[in-house]
Amino acid sequence: MSYPGGGEVRGDAYGTTPLVTGDAVVLDLRAAGFATRAVALLIDVIVQGVLFLLHMVLVAWMGTAVDPAATAAVFLGGMILIFVGYPTAFETISRGRSLGKMALGLRVVGTDGTPERFRQALARALAGFFEIWATTGVIALITSMISKDGRRVGDFLAGTMVVEERTGRPRQEHIPMPPYLAGWASGADLSRLAPETAAAARQYVLRYYELAEHTRHEMGVRLADAVAAQISPPPPPGVAPADFLAAVLAERRRRQQIALQQQRSQHRPAS
C-alpha cells in the first residue's frame, strides 16, 4: 500500500511551518547571520590574541636563557598550537563550537548537517590562519559577505557552515495529535503496526527539526509508506507525512495508556 499523502504541506506535528535544519544534529540549520558570526569570531580572536601575547612573553623569557634555535622552535610550535591546534581541538571536542560560538549560540556543521569532524576542523583552522590572521580578516570578510550562507574560505574547503542552534524548537518527547487528524486516527486500525516501524517513525517525528530538508522529505515519505502499509484506512489525501506519522503515534500511545489503565484497574484489590 502506498502512502496517499501528497507533497502539499499543511503544517507538521507541531502546527508550524517546517524549518531548514541539520541532519542528525540537535540544532536548527539556519545559517548564522554575518553580524553574529563577526562577534563570535571577535571573541575567538581575542582569546587567541591573549594566548599569543602570553606565548610571546614566554618566548622572550626563554630567549635570555636558551639558545636561539630552541627559542625559534618554541616560538613556531606555540604559534601552530595557538592558531591551528587550539581551534582544531576545541571545535572537534565540542562538536563544532569555539568559545565565541558558544557565547553566541552558534555551531559549525557539515553542509549536510552532520557534526563537524576533525579533518573539517583542521581544514578550517589552517585556512583561518591565512584568511583571518595573515590578511587581518580581509579575505574572510569578503568571502562571508559574498557567500549566501556566510561561508568563508575555510568553510568551502572543509565543506562546513556556521549555523544558529538556539533558534530551533526544543525536542519534545511527547508527540501531540494534529487536531485535524484526531477523528481519522480514532477510527484507524493500528493492530498490525509493527513495533520497529513505530519506533522508526517516532524517531523521525522527534528529530523532525534536526533533519535537512531533503532528508526530512525523503525519510518522511519512506516511513509514511511503511506505516500506511500496516494500518487502515489510509489517511486523508494531502496530509503531510510528519502529520500522518504523528497522528498514528499519538493515537497508538493513547490506546496503550487506556489499555494500561484498564489492566491496572483489573488488578487493583477490591476495598
Q: What is the pLDDT of residue 266?
A: 77
Question: pLDDT (tens digit, 9 = 90+) per residue, 27-65?
Answer: 445 778 888 888 999 999 999 999 999 999 989 888 787
Question: pLDDT (tens digit, 9 = 90+) per residue, 73-98?
Answer: 999 999 999 999 999 999 999 989 99
d(CA 226, CA 200): 10
Indicate the pLDDT class of residue 148, thresholds 50, 70 and 90.
Answer: confident
d(CA 167, CA 212): 15
Average per-residue pLDDT in the chain? 83
Cα dihedral 106, 110, 115, 119, rounded to 10, equals -110
Using alpha carbons, list the distances in angstroms from residue 45 to 42, 223, 264: 5, 46, 61
Where along the chain do its domains lie?
30-164, 179-267
The whole-number average pLDDT for the span 166-187 is: 77
Q: What is the pLDDT of residue 122?
A: 95
Cell of 75: 616560538
Sheet of strand 30-31: strand arrangement: 30-31, 160-164, 106-110
Secondary structure class of 212 (helix, strand, coil): coil
Cell of 26: 540537535
